[in-house]
Amino acid sequence: MPSEPMQTSLSMPYKRKLAERGRLGRLLADIKKNKVSYLFLAPYGIIFLFFTVLPVVISIGFSFTYYNILEPPQWIGWRNYINLFLADEVFLISIKNTFLLAAITGSLGYFASFFFAWLINELPRRIRPFFVLIFYAPALAGYAVSQIWGILFSGDAYGWMNGFLMKLGIIREPIYWLTDPNYMLPVLIVVVLWMSLSHGFLAFVAGLQTVDRSLYEAGYTDGIRNRWQELWYITLPSMRPQLMFGAVMSITSSFAIHDVLVPLVGFPSTDYAAHTVVSHLVDYGSFRFEMGYASAIATVLFLVMVGTNKIVQRLLRKVGQ
């Protein structure tokens, strides 16, 4: 829709009607005039509508129903949401785990992405690509080799971590890293952090190279002494768009942790100790076929992600001030 300025001076209803018809007519003419643009947009737009926009709308609709795929959905109002927050203990565990994982891996991963990108940018130009590759490789190939962590943290004495600690004499018998509820989350956090230098990291590395050199020169004459001052007063403020992009990427991935935990701690994990909101969603959607309930979980997750993004973006506007 074109954002036409509101015509407040026209208070009489029939005049407004006339104006609106004019507006609609203009819109139709506009669409006709821009036929080519819409044709270009159409393939993407249609696929996006069918497999992204429509699913979100349907999901919100289903969340107010009882739906098991075989029978038609029944409207049950807010009951799914009420059950989620008041009667589902596992959901509360999963919410707690998700927030914990997101708070730790999301924020640390984000800061690490920027920090390492910045340090790499301080290196001579010629050796930068090598370091970018080394730091980005886990995110690139990490999912394919995530079972290697299963071997590193294997629960027997042949697991590398256990063997290492036993050889040093720190522990006397192997720790069940991946089945003992006390150790699952910390191990998971390590693995997720290892893979977290992802799209945001690349955006930061690239963005740092394009910061206007003359800003730095102006900074030196204004008395900037060291690289830390330079970072806060010049580099960060001019990187704000990339910082926004990186934040979106890391929030999205840190709230949606599930795929990586399945090969490590199993699904479901012992005592649901590593259960996340997405795990809960997969459980109800793909195993129990309670689509209405699963949709309610998805809707909650969606709102949490968008809400967190809005808050973080507001915070990022304060950078360098």
Partner 1 sequence: MRTMKLLRPSNLSRSLGGDILNLLFLILCGCLMALPLLYTIFQALKPLDEIFIFPPRFYVRNPTLDNFVQLLVMMGESWVPFSRYLFNTIFVTITGTIGHVIVASMAAFVLAKHRFPGQNLFFNIVILALMFSYHVTAIPNYLIMARLNWVDTYLALIVPYFSYPLGLFLMKQFMDQIPDSLLESARIDGASEFRIFWKIVMPSVKPAWLTLIIFIFQQLWTMQGGVYIYSEQLKTLSYAFSQILLGGAVTIARAGVSGAVGLLMMIPPIVLFIVTQSNIMETMATSGIKE
First-residue to last-residue Cα distance in the chain: 36
Residue with tokens 């984000």: 110
Q: Is 180 in the site for partner 1 (CB under 8 A)?
A: no
Binds partner 1 by CB under 8 A, chosen from 90, 100, 166, 189: 166
Q: Is 36 in the site for partner 1 (CB under 8 A)?
A: yes
Eight-class DSSP state of 155: S
Q: Is 96 in the site for partner 1 (CB under 8 A)?
A: no
Q: Is 138 in the site for partner 1 (CB under 8 A)?
A: yes
Q: Is 99 in the site for partner 1 (CB under 8 A)?
A: no
Binds partner 1 by CB under 8 A, chosen from 242, 250, 261, 274: 242
Residue with tokens 């129990």: 288
Binds partner 1 by CB under 8 A, chosen from 89, 122, 318, 321: 122
Q: Which is nearer to partner 1, 181 or 219 (CB)?
A: 219
- Alpha-carbon distance of 113 to 115, in angstroms, equals 6
Task: Please list, in sequence order, all residues whose beta carbon lies within 8 angstroms of the beta carbon of residue 63, skipping any fewer than 6 positions away.
Answer: 80, 81, 292, 295, 296, 298, 299
Binds partner 1 by CB under 8 A, chosen from 64, 91, 136, 176: 136
Q: Give the binding range for partner 1 (CB under 8 A) out of 10-18, 42-50, 85-93, 181-189.
A: 42-50
44-83: contacts with partner 1 (CB under 8 A): 44-45, 47-48, 50-56, 58-59, 62
239-264 core/surface letters (b: 16 or more CB in 10 A; e: else): beebbbbbbbbbbebbbbbbebbeeb
Could you give the 3-state DSSP secondary structure of residue 124? coil
- CB 64 → partner 1: shortest distance, Å? 14
